[in-house]
A and B are shown apart, each in its own frame.
Chain A
Amino acid sequence: MNPQPLQIRLSWSDPATGQRREPILAVPIALGREFAQMPDELRGLRVSRILLNSAEVSRYHVSIDEDSGTLVVIDQNSQNGTFINGQRQARSVLGNGDTLQIGPYQITISFLASSSISTIAFHPDTDLPDPRLVATPSSDNFPPLVFGQSQVALQDLHATGLPVEEVDYAAIGAGLGSFFWVDLLRICGVKIDRIAALGMEEKPYARYKRLCMNSQIPLHERLRSNSDSCPDNIWGWPSYALREVWHDLLKGKVSDALGYLWQVFAEPDFAQTYTPRSGNVFDSIDRESKRIGWEQMFRHGSVRAIRKTSDGRYVLAYSRRRSSTGSPDRAFLIAPYLQLATGYPAIQFLPDLKAYREKTGDFESVVNAYEQHDRVYQHLEQHGGTVLIRGRGIVASRIVQRIYEARQKNKQISLLHLMRSAKPQGNKFGSSQRQVENHYEFQPFNWPKACWGGELREMLEKADPEGRKRLLAHWGGTTTADRRDWKRIVQQGVNEGWYQITFGEVEKVERDDTQNRTVTYIQEKGLKGQIRLEADFIIDATGLDAHVTASPLLGDLVNHYNLPLHDNGRLVVANDFEVTDMRNQRGRIYAAGAITLGGPYAAVDSFLGLQYAALCAVDSLAAVQAPRLERLNALSSLWQWLKWATNKSP
């Protein structure tokens, strides 16, 4: 008899998006690629069926069921097998904290439930990550009542008495994604007074730079970006490597210069992949901003809502601030062509750490890597201590490097790296496999390189929605860069004993007031016992989040126009990045960045990916004969490049 069905929690990061899935399911459970191929009943009990979208997963891959009081996992003669804690098994007893690897999916089994995914929002006025922020609906009468309709008439806007401005092109966000679009519009002939870019900060890289600095990438450090991904230059030439070569040659540093040339010629097989210094990238964006007149197009404002107008355009209701001291006022902006590039709506924050902060009010010893947390390193350099890092991507690597640097000042610093599960082998796709070392999975950039402009870009664009999900699952996942210095630091730390990697599922995080430290409790596999990890600081390096409904503006747009979303919560866009469901006669809205992942392009949140989205959108606008816009052809492209090279306004 089974009066109360046994429940367990399966948790995994979606290989494509990195998003956490943590369903609590009643046993028996079936996992596979096709819903219809999995049984709906076993032993007379309803089966919880879970779809895993990857070609490496068989149609009915594996089942989890109860047998004589234990939980067993049974492989259903799957093609690629089921790995339990890294060992291929046909049938095995499951313990709490065990990991199940099925194709690219790393699933952790827990016998207990925990809270769901949590985030840290960006403050609407300062754009700083604000952990204490709770979203509240605005209580004032802005946007006005007419915004309740699906189309707004112009006379209703004027009747409010608020200022109404009209342009042809409006970029929402005014970050890097907007900058690339506006840059290209200018290069394709649109004049400054026909474009507006609305955002919180004038420098298009302001938020990006802040997140870089917070996650310990200072201006002299190198970004994870390709040499010819140039935010200031759509052509990618001269690349950052060539510019650095030129700069070093002028300073007489010939061997450094030759080294960079060799890097871009031989990477990644015979040389480490070249990446640009963040300071150089920001300086080049400043130059391009001046060249295209960004300052004149920028409007300091926080967009509250977007609506279609009855004359085939769109209206933005925004609160604007014309000086840093003055109070904000309200205004409308009308444009037939919009681009949405609002960036990541929020930062992902581990639920157990969020719970710790809420319970203890301690925002000092538990931090997210994207929050300002320099004080952690200052404290460590002075007093020593233990740091616990969660997550194993590029941010974790950079934090490990920062701790290594702190150790040069104080040897009494040690590092615990807590990972959810071991990573014995890398993702596979066709005849190739990703490289793994010390449980870090390596890749020069955040997607396989051909996702930007090669075979994989084409493959993804041609695939249907289900196929796209599968491909993204293959190519995605948390990776870090194959940097020699990082590998050396990890190996040295492991050898010297100050760096330790531990695997486990966190049960809870508490504060030990007698010792003034955090204590992380981890369930060991098979309910054998609990491990206590004591640390002075915990740094969450698990990443950013991009569920569009986390953004009040996008959430409102999705609700109001009933826009379709992908399973991962991102906007559905066409191959030219148009949000086709928002089309309004001649009016068009395009999107770019993390909010479009799941669509035609994988590397949406990179410099080059944003430039690609801008190019597709501007070409599409040229095709519908948007005003004062000429498609870039060989001749105009050469002419515009010459203007770029001589720093003349386009």
Chain B
Amino acid sequence: MTPTLFGRWQTRLLLLGTVGVLITLPFGLGIIGLGADFVYFWVVGYIAVFGLGWDILYDHLQKFRWDRDWPGLFQLFAGIWEAIFLILIVKVLSLPLPGMQNLDIGWFVRHYSLVWLGVYVVSQTLMRILFPRWRFRGGQWL
């Protein structure tokens, strides 16, 4: 992938808002996990919002690469880092983020991993098919 900053933002918001929410539904409704809990939706929301900031960092790091590319493995690393960051500020620094009081680490990891995987797979498949210009425009679909 060779995303641009706008491309990263647009793709992140679209995919978390669709695929992310779809995967979160069974967790949020209590079909999977410890019972119905809105916290999973908050997680997706925070990943989207903080991610807008992380994307600026990734975009900057990309400029040190000759090919200005961002391999799948880097996306995985970034995904792991964003999860760690969220756990750090909620559980270690105990920042009172609205909606995050009931976060269970075990279920967070399961839910978050599925969301990441879903978003990654859809970005590699359905996005290309629905938006044929997306890959030529650094991930911008608008």
Contact = CB atoms under 8 A, between A and B. Distances in A.
Contacts of A134: none
A443 interface: yes
A265 B130 contact: no
Interface in A450-496: 450, 452-458
Given A449-B67, A612-B136, A637-B130, 10 more contacts: A268-B71, A270-B73, A426-B66, A432-B66, A443-B66, A443-B67, A453-B136, A454-B3, A455-B138, A634-B130
Contacts of B128: 228, 235-237
B130 A456 contact: no
Contacts of B133: 615, 619
Given A453-B136, A458-B138, A637-B129, A430 B63 contact: yes
B137 interface: yes
Nearest to B141: A634
How many chain A residues sit at the interface, stated as a range, is 35 or more
A521 to B, nearest CB: 37
Contacts of A228: 128, 135
Interface string B4-30: 100000000000000000000000000
A120 interface: no
Contact of A267 (B4, B71, B135, B137): B71
A574 interface: no
Contacts of B2: 449-450, 452-456
B84 to A, nearest CB: 21
Nearest to A427: B66
B129 A455 contact: no
B71 A266 contact: yes
Contacts of A268: 67, 69, 71
A269 B132 contact: no
A444 interface: yes
A412 interface: no
Contacts of B135: 228, 236, 453
Contact of A265 (B65, B68, B72, B132): B72
Nearest to B129: A641
Interface in A318-372: none
A449 B68 contact: yes
Contact of A458 (B4, B62, B63): B4
B67 A453 contact: no
Contacts of B131: 634, 637
The majority secondary structure among interface residues of chain B is loop
A458 B133 CA distance: 13
B129 A265 contact: no
Interface in A252-292: 264-270
12 contacts: A234-B132, A236-B128, A266-B71, A268-B69, A269-B71, A443-B67, A448-B68, A450-B68, A453-B2, A453-B137, A454-B2, A641-B129
A452 B130 contact: no
A632 interface: yes
A81 B66 CA distance: 22
Nearest to B3: A454
B125 interface: yes
Contacts of B137: 453, 458
A383 to B, nearest CB: 43
Contacts, number: 97
A638 interface: yes
A207 B134 CA distance: 30
Contacts of B130: 634, 637-638
A479 B131 CA distance: 32
Contacts of A429: 66
B67 A448 contact: yes
Interface in A17-62: none
Interface in B84-120: none
B136 A431 contact: no
A435 interface: yes
Contacts of B132: 234-235, 615, 632, 637
Interface in B65-82: 65-69, 71-74
A545 B137 CA distance: 29
A234 to B, nearest CB: 6
B73 A431 contact: no
Contacts of A455: 2, 4, 62-63, 68, 138
B66 A237 contact: no
B107 to A, nearest CB: 27
A151 B22 CA distance: 60
B110 to A, nearest CB: 22
A409 interface: no
A334 B73 CA distance: 51
A434 interface: yes
B8 to A, nearest CB: 11
A516 interface: no
Given A267-B71, A454-B138, A431 B129 contact: no
Contacts of A641: 129
A234 B74 CA distance: 26
A53 to B, nearest CB: 20
Contacts of B62: 455
Contact of A448 (B66, B72, B73, B136): B66
A450 B67 contact: yes
Given A266-B73, A455-B4, A432 B129 contact: no
